[in-house]
Amino acid sequence: MTHLWVRAEQRPNEERVGLTPEGARALIDAGLKVTVEESTVRAIPLQGYIDAGCEIAAENSWPDAPRDAIIFGLKELPEDGTPLPHRHIMFGHAYKGQHSGKALLERFQAGGGTLYDLEYLVDESGRRVAAFGYWAGYAGAAVTLKTWAAQQRGELCGPVGVYEGKDALLAELSAELDGLKTDRPSAIVIGALGRVGTGAADLCEAMGVAVTKWDMAETASGGPFPEILAHDLFLNCIFARPGTPVFVPQEALTADRRLTAIGDVACDPDSDYNPVPVYDRATTWEAPALRVAQDPVLDVMAIDNLPSMLPVESSEDYAAQLLPSLLTLTDLASGVWGRAETTFKDHLPG
């Protein structure tokens, strides 16, 4: 019997989950065994999983799970260097030149396990079957606007946290912007036709922010892109990959520009293909903005788990997208899972 083990998330400020109680019941009805770990932070209460018929395990007990269990989480595992013998479904951040990803692949190689990277679960056409992108863009645009608003007050953006839902976020942000003695800023979104860019543009438009929407056609020239510097906000919603242009080069720090706030929603600062190479580390919920220039100021927002600001909505959305693929876990050799395993093997150290 195929056994899916839903682990508790161990990263700070991570309340999302990739499987809802309704999804768990569908898996059980299809003949799968589902174990769900207890969690002190998960946004969806445990009782729903109990009612759905899941087995319950202690928080963070997955290392002792049966060897044939498939461990399912979202964010990275603790970087403790231990070998990984299980099959894992998660965002590994290991295939795009990230330096921490190399260590993760070495752990899988040492333990004999397999990574089914959620970012690389794709259909026959190569399109991802599930993504948190919309809510990443939505929350990322919100924090970038908060970064800009703080600048208008002569401050650096303060801590951000979890919201009960998007209405609470919109109400708070609207009040903050209305309290400023200035007009709304202008924004440019690159990747506007994708999930991430759509979420970013929707948030901006909900706040009355004028948005310039760019996608591949507008960036095909490879740059430079002075239009970006002519906006108050720039939201990068394109994931780094070989061939991605540099949107904001180092020279922009001292250039004549209107731009004062960058929201790098894709957030790949340690990638060799980072299109926003004016910063070198992700920001945090406690310190959302990194100041990279002073005259005029330029702050970068690069939080890497933005959808967790809206954990219920983002979890329900993502879980609904992923469930059809989870229902095919009984056949790991083909389809979505077969393609993901091939990608994993192609990236293992030689």
Annotated active-site residue 345? The verdict is no
Q: Which of 75, 86, 166, 231 is catalytic?
A: 75
Q: Which of 86, 88, 93, 96 is catalytic?
A: 93
- State the virtual CA torsion across 20, 23, 28, 33 in degrees, nearest 10: -50
Q: Name the nearest CA neighbour of 119 among 285, 347, 309, 274.
A: 347
Size of the chain in residues? 350
Q: Which two tokens stand for residue 347?
A: 């990236």
Rg for the chain, CA atoms, rounded: 21
- State the virtual CA torsion across 104, 98, 158, 152 in degrees, nearest 10: -170
Residue 12 gets which letter from DSSP? T
Distance, first Cα to last Cα, the chain = 33
Distance CA 282, CA 298 (A): 15
The phi, psi pair for 22, rounded to 5°, reads -65, -40
Annotated active-site residue 347? The verdict is no
Q: Which two tokens stand for residue 237?
A: 């919603």
Distance CA 105, CA 94 (A): 7
- Helices 311-326/335-347 angle, 10° precision: 100
Distance CA 49, CA 28 (A): 11
Nearest-5° Cα angle at 197, 196 to 198 = 95
Active site members = 75, 93
